[in-house]
Amino acid sequence: MPEPDVLEVHRAMREIANQILKVSNVLDGKQVDDFIQALLKAKRVFVIGAGRSGLVAKAFAMRLMHLGIDTYVIGETITPALREGDLFIAVSGSGETNLTVRAAEIAKKIGSKIVAITSYPNSSLGKIADYLVVLPGRVKTESTTDFVHRELAGEYASLAPLGTMFEITALVFLDGIVANLMTKLGKKEEDLRARHATIE
Amino acid sequence: MPEPDVLEVHRAMREIANQILKVSNVLDGKQVDDFIQALLKAKRVFVIGAGRSGLVAKAFAMRLMHLGIDTYVIGETITPALREGDLFIAVSGSGETNLTVRAAEIAKKIGSKIVAITSYPNSSLGKIADYLVVLPGRVKTESTTDFVHRELAGEYASLAPLGTMFEITALVFLDGIVANLMTKLGKKEEDLRARHATIE
Amino acid sequence: MPEPDVLEVHRAMREIANQILKVSNVLDGKQVDDFIQALLKAKRVFVIGAGRSGLVAKAFAMRLMHLGIDTYVIGETITPALREGDLFIAVSGSGETNLTVRAAEIAKKIGSKIVAITSYPNSSLGKIADYLVVLPGRVKTESTTDFVHRELAGEYASLAPLGTMFEITALVFLDGIVANLMTKLGKKEEDLRARHATIE
Amino acid sequence: MPEPDVLEVHRAMREIANQILKVSNVLDGKQVDDFIQALLKAKRVFVIGAGRSGLVAKAFAMRLMHLGIDTYVIGETITPALREGDLFIAVSGSGETNLTVRAAEIAKKIGSKIVAITSYPNSSLGKIADYLVVLPGRVKTESTTDFVHRELAGEYASLAPLGTMFEITALVFLDGIVANLMTKLGKKEEDLRARHATIE
């Protein structure tokens, strides 16, 4: 007889995997295309995000560095001045994360292009974005009742609390972008490994 | 006609979702059970990981904090002295990440219990672990030819380079653990939200 | 004959030491007293700062943790929700650092008490502070000509560029506060060592 | 009558300032010279340190970036693979900080040059260093009785506990190096400001 604990873990993992599949099916081709083009023509890339969305942004930044793209994380030690021509990528499920939105506003004023990875195109972040990638997914500020993407949500408040679904689908989506950039840039896994941190 | 870029992103996402499903099916019930019991009886939890595995460890630590469990990330500012009775969770696909293994050795000597989240039970990390959770998945130190879990791997070197598969399945697995802890601790999403950072 | 390089290093270090002495002589006794009282009666302490001021804030937070005071760094992984009764300490030479000021505004609204460690009492940060500690010192946003604390400044633009003087005097001042808290709390160095991180 | 609290803060600050002056007087000219030459000819610079020594390393790295030197912090997101020809700077008062020493050993094997900023030339870190800068100063692992630099120490266990003196003198020393590099590279404060982070 299988253990009840492992069954619940299994069920939560399956729920998340299904959400990734659903989101991958509703990606907007033009949004994805434009985002990839923006990445390819950016002089430098800066990423930002708060909490677990910030961890997702960092995971993406690390792979961009492996790909040889000049990338920085807002708030880390050696991040230089943002300038015109730089691409500023903000990850925020709600699109209303206070400091992330404020930073995007400053970036916009400086003249960099803004990418919003968010569930809400009409959020403060979504509205100032030059490039928008909408990933449907309940976010941590929603209660179950006001969830606008109900058909994708199910009853997962207890299986994937707060922003979990957005964070994971954002990570997986951005890793999909990495796969595409490898093709586009003609990079093999060995090329990435050669740039991977050696002290860890 | 659908855009080729979005198709490749879609394909990578589907590949990752399928890997999550596969890993969720081969979880070892006893390993999962023991890990959950160790979490529930730990005085405090300390997590560590390098690179993207470190980001996964942080994402888990944040949710443990939301659950009201006293949790710290090795290397962050206010992390206190580790002591006997603390649970030390190390995330490393290969189980050979140098500084992670060394830190686990120190933690072991101090008398804390070691959890290894890894693909390799016979790795340096796996061998000193008191609690082992094996998540099959190709890791960044493998070339395609020596991949021991071939049946779970497929041809994903270009769709999910380096440790991508391990990192994402580890994140999703640990979020499954969070779902289970919510049930066990009788926590609702509102309880987690109440502890979620308010300045961000 | 002494080496010219070491002489210039020596001269910069002496300049900084002299600035520390000058600032220590003009500390406002009531400001210092009130700050110490606020620290002693705070339920929890949260610190924030950007760039090198952020590193100074972290260095202080680490010692507060060593002293047994419940302390968190805004933006780190396990930082929980700020609440009423918490003390929010912001370090900013200019008092105008955008995201720091915005965070302080949110903290104020939540009902926590704000401490501003700054050179500018009339800055945005200074104005919303409940407790103000003014540390005279040229900050990075000033050019040499508009420097209002000229008598303390000298010609150090090339010996201590940007916010260097503020950052170092803030660090040393906060370490002076730590010395005083040790006395007040009856803590010996051994007590601090016992809480110092053991995995590093 | 002056407040007793501010007097103790004042006394601790004065003690620290005096220590900076003493250390600046005993700098080894050749060590300083060699370190500066190593910085000038390095392809890239990587820094590391644990705890407050790590914060000092980061503060230095930030200024090197402002100076236009390609600099990375071990453990941050976008830090690439260390290679031959890179300069690896480790900050550790005791020279025995476990993970710092281990990282330096790996860096040595890779073929990068090692700089040790330490109080102990005969420590594990000191011994493998290609460039050594000795900053006398009691460190956190010493009790008052075995302190070998007693003449520089005084009775400061309670005024500057644990590694405080080393950390601050290291920071001020490294800022002295920055002043010298500005001269050597013909950089003005405006040049540094132009590279200073704009989103914060």
Hey, what domains does chain D have and what are their CATH numbers? 4-189 (3.40.50.10490)
Using a CB-CB distance cutoff of 8 angstroms, which residues of chain D are in contact with residue A80?
A: 65, 195-197
Q: Quick count: other Cβ atoms within 10 Å of Cβ A64?
A: 24
Residues of chain A with pLDDT under 50: 1-2, 144-155
> CB distance A58–D46 less than 8 Å?
no
Q: How far apart are CA C107 and CA B116, in angstroms?
A: 38
Name the minimum distance, in Å, from the CA of A61 to any CA of chain D.
7
Name the minimum distance, in Å, from the CA of D41 to any CA of chain A.
19
> CB distance A103–C103 less than 8 Å?
no
pLDDT, position A137: 79
Pairing of strands B71-73, B45-49: parallel
Q: How far apart are CA A9 and CA C102, in angstroms?
A: 39
Residues of chain C with pLDDT under 50: 1-2, 144-155
- Closest to B172 in 3D by CA, of B133, B125, B127, B145: B133
- C-alpha distances (whole Å) from C113 to each of A63, C107, C110, D171 are 40, 8, 9, 30
> CB distance B55–A59 less than 8 Å?
yes
> CB distance B81–C107 less than 8 Å?
no
Amino acid, res. D66: H
Using DSSP's 3-state secondary structure scheme, residue C91 falls into strand
Q: In what order do the strands lie in the sheet with B87-91?
A: B71-73, B45-49, B87-91, B113-118, B131-134
Q: Give the H/E segment covering residue A20.
A: helix A4-25
- The residue-averaged pLDDT of D22-41 equals 97
> CB distance A177–B52 less than 8 Å?
no
Query: Tell me: the pLDDT tens digits for C48-67?
Result: 999 999 999 999 999 999 99
- C-alpha distances (whole Å) from B99 to each of B15, B74, C140 are 31, 11, 37
Q: Give yes or no for a contact between D34 and D27, defined as CB atoms under 8 angstroms apart.
A: no
Candidates B167, B189, B190, B200; catalytic one: B167
Name the minimum distance, in Å, from the CA of B59 to any CA of chain A.
6
Q: How far apart are CA B67 and CA B53, in angstroms?
A: 21
Q: How far apart are CA D175 and CA D192, in angstroms?
A: 13
pLDDT, position D127: 98
Q: Give yes or no for a contact between A165 and A156, defined as CB atoms under 8 angstroms apart.
A: yes
Shortest CA distance from C81: residue in chain B:
B197
- Closest to B117 in 3D by CA, of B165, B62, B164, B171: B171
Residues of chain B with pLDDT under 70: 1-3, 138-156
Torsion of CA B125, B130, B133, B139, to 10 degrees: 0
pLDDT, position A148: 40
> CB distance D98–B102 less than 8 Å?
yes
- The residue-averaged pLDDT of D73-102 equals 97
Q: Give the H/E segment covering residue A72.
A: strand A71-73
- Closest to C46 in 3D by CA, of D112, A135, C54: C54
Using a CB-CB distance cutoff of 8 angstroms, which residues of chain C are in contact with residue B82?
A: 197-199
- Out of D78, D103, D196, closest to residue A199 by CB: D103
The region that residue C85 occupies, defined by phi over 0 for left and psi between -120 and 50 for alpha, beta otherwise, is: left
**Sorting pLDDT into bands at 50, 70 and 90, what band is D150?**
very low
Name the minimum distance, in Å, from the CA of A117 to any CA of chain B.
15
DSSP per position, D71-103 = EEETTSTT-----TT-EEEEE-SSS--HHHHHH
Amino acid, res. D196: H
Using a CB-CB distance cutoff of 8 angstroms, which residues of chain C are in contact with residue D6?
A: 27-29, 32-33
pTM reported for the whole predicted model: 0.94
- Out of C65, C78, C103, closest to residue B199 by CB: C103
Helices (H), chain D: 4-25, 29-41, 51-66, 98-110, 124-128, 150-153, 164-185, 189-195
Active site residues of A: 167
> CB distance C179–D160 less than 8 Å?
yes
Q: Is the pLDDT of residue D27 over 70?
A: yes
Shortest CA distance from C110: residue in chain B:
B198
Count C/D contacts: CB-CB distance under 8 Å.
Answer: 213
Long-range contacts of A28-32 (CB under 8 A, 24+ apart): A28/A133, A28/A134, A28/B6, A29/B2, A29/B3, A29/B5, A29/B6, A30/B3, A31/A131, A31/A132, A31/A133, A31/A134, A32/A133, A32/A177, A32/B3, A32/B5, A32/B6, A32/B9
Instruction: Determine the residue among C58, C78, C86, C88 to mutate to test chain B binding: the one whose Cβ has the most chain B Cβ atoms within 10 Å.
Output: C78
| Contacting partners of chain D (3+ CB pairs under 8 A) | A, B, C
- The residue-averaged pLDDT of D147-158 equals 50
Shortest CA distance from B32: residue in chain A:
A6
> CB distance D98–B98 less than 8 Å?
no
Tokens of A127: 């509205």
- Out of A50, A75, A98, closest to residue C102 by CB: A98
Tokens of C173: 């001042």
Candidates C167, C189, C190, C200; catalytic one: C167
Tell me which DSSP letter residue A149 carries. Answer: T
Using a CB-CB distance cutoff of 8 angstroms, which residues of chain C are in contact with residue A103?
A: 99
Separation of first and last alpha carbons in chain B: 41
- Closest to C138 in 3D by CA, of C121, C150, C126: C150
Using a CB-CB distance cutoff of 8 angstroms, which residues of chain C are in contact with residue A99?
A: 99, 102-103
Using a CB-CB distance cutoff of 8 angstroms, which residues of chain C are in contact with residue B194?
A: 81
Q: Which residues of B touch C (CB under 8 A)?
A: 46, 48, 58, 61-62, 65, 71-82, 103, 106-107, 110, 194-200
pLDDT above 70 covers a percentage of chain D that reads 89
Name the minimum distance, in Å, from the CA of B193 to any CA of chain C.
9
Shortest CA distance from C80: residue in chain A:
A51
Name the minimum distance, in Å, from the CA of B159 to any CA of chain D.
21
Q: How far apart are CA C28 and CA C25, in angstroms?
A: 9
Q: Quick count: other Cβ atoms within 10 Å of Cβ A29?
A: 16
Using DSSP's 3-state secondary structure scheme, residue A26 falls into coil
| Contacting partners of chain A (3+ CB pairs under 8 A) | B, C, D
Q: How far apart are CA D80 and CA D74, in angstroms?
A: 9
Q: Quick count: other Cβ atoms within 10 Å of Cβ C111?
A: 11
